[in-house]
Every structure is written in structure tokens, then in C-alpha cells.
Amino acid sequence: MANHKSAKKRIRSNEAKNLRNKYQHKTMRNAVRKLRALTVKSEAETLFPVVSAMIDKLAKRNVIHSNKASNLKSGLAVHINKI
């Protein structure tokens, strides 16, 4: 258990950040699932920039790895082109 005041504060702030990151990551995954489930190309093309921006923000904040973000975005682009 932490003994210092700053260590206790760090534990609290890490829990808050972890909760926020988990929420944003789950939201991004649901958006990716929703985009992959679409079968109408025009709908998918309008949703793609929103999901892409979401992925980029998570990569910028190190919630997901930048290579994972690139793989997700390219996979979604391929999916849209196949529709």
C-alpha cells in the first residue's frame, strides 16, 4: 500500500484515467463493429471519417498502439471498398 500522499494521489488519478481510457476504447470498438456490419456503401463512407478520427485520437493518447490504429483504419478502408 502506498505511504506517501503523492503516491495515493497517483493511484486515484490512474484509476480515473484507466476508467476513461476503457470507456473510450470500448466506444471505439463498438463503432468499428457497427461500421463493419454496414452493407450500404454510402452509409459506411459517411461513418468512416468519424471512426477514423476516434481511432487516431486513441492512438495519439497512447490508449491503443499506433500500428494497431493503422491496421484498423486500413482494414476498414478495405472493407468499405469491397462493399
Please give the pLDDT value at position 3.
Answer: 84
Half-sphere exposure at residue 63, Cβ-oriented, CA atoms within 13 angstroms? 20
Half-sphere exposure at residue 66, Cβ-oriented, CA atoms within 13 angstroms? 2
Please give the pLDDT value at position 69.
Answer: 97
pTM, full prediction: 0.85
13: domain CATH number?
1.20.58.110
How many domains is the chain built from?
Answer: 1
Contact, 41 vs 83, CB < 8 A? Answer: yes
Read off the pLDDT of residues 13-26 as tens digits, 9 standing for 90 and up: 999 999 999 999 99
Domain extent at residue 33 = 5-82
Q: Which three cell numbers stand for residue 64?
A: 491503443
d(C-alpha 75, C-alpha 80), whole Å: 9
Please give the pLDDT value at position 62.
Answer: 95
Weakly modelled stretches of the chain, pLDDT under 70: none
Cα angle value 74/68/16 (rounded, 5°): 130
